[in-house]
Amino acid sequence: MWVRDHLDGLWSDEDFLSWYPRDGRPGLSPAQLATVCVLQFLLNLSDRQAAEAVRWRIDFKYALAINLDDPGFHHSVLTDFRDRLGQDDRADRLLSLALDRLREAGMIKERGRQRTEVPPRCGEW
């Protein structure tokens, strides 16, 4: 959540323009879907659980910058997004972009040791 506080998210929808066709109806925010995928991985959630978390968990809503009454999306959207992420070297470019933004914000240091474990949730201390 501190990434959202300091950076307003790791990605913007403009970072994904080449992933989607220019015509058709607007879809879900790819920056938000990427964030959901990160949270899903960190919390070891299934697609259904992640989609439910977007619907009901306030921490997910905050991380995604969505309204509390946002209805979320169908869990199958995550599979489609991961299919796009798996093409070419998109995942690597997305990770590099996130790391660059974190570095620029002073949240990670060059050549320093970083914490990679997930911090415990409230009540799990």
Backbone angles phi, psi at 105, to 5 degrees: -85, 0
Going from N- to C-terminal start, the domains of the chain cover 2-12+28-104
Q: Which token pair is 43?
A: 């919390």
Report helix, strand or coil for 77.
helix
Measured CA to CA, the distance from residue 25 to residue 104 in angstroms comes to: 34
Cβ distance 85 to 94 under 8 Å? yes
Query: Is there a contact between 26 and 36 (Cβ–Cβ < 8 Å)?
Result: no
What's the pTM? 0.75
Tell me how crowded residue 22 is: count the other CB atoms within 10 A of its CB.
5
pLDDT tens digits for the chain (125 residues)? 556 666 677 788 888 888 877 776 657 889 899 999 999 999 999 999 999 999 999 999 999 989 999 999 999 999 999 998 999 989 998 888 888 888 887 877 776 565 555 555 555 44
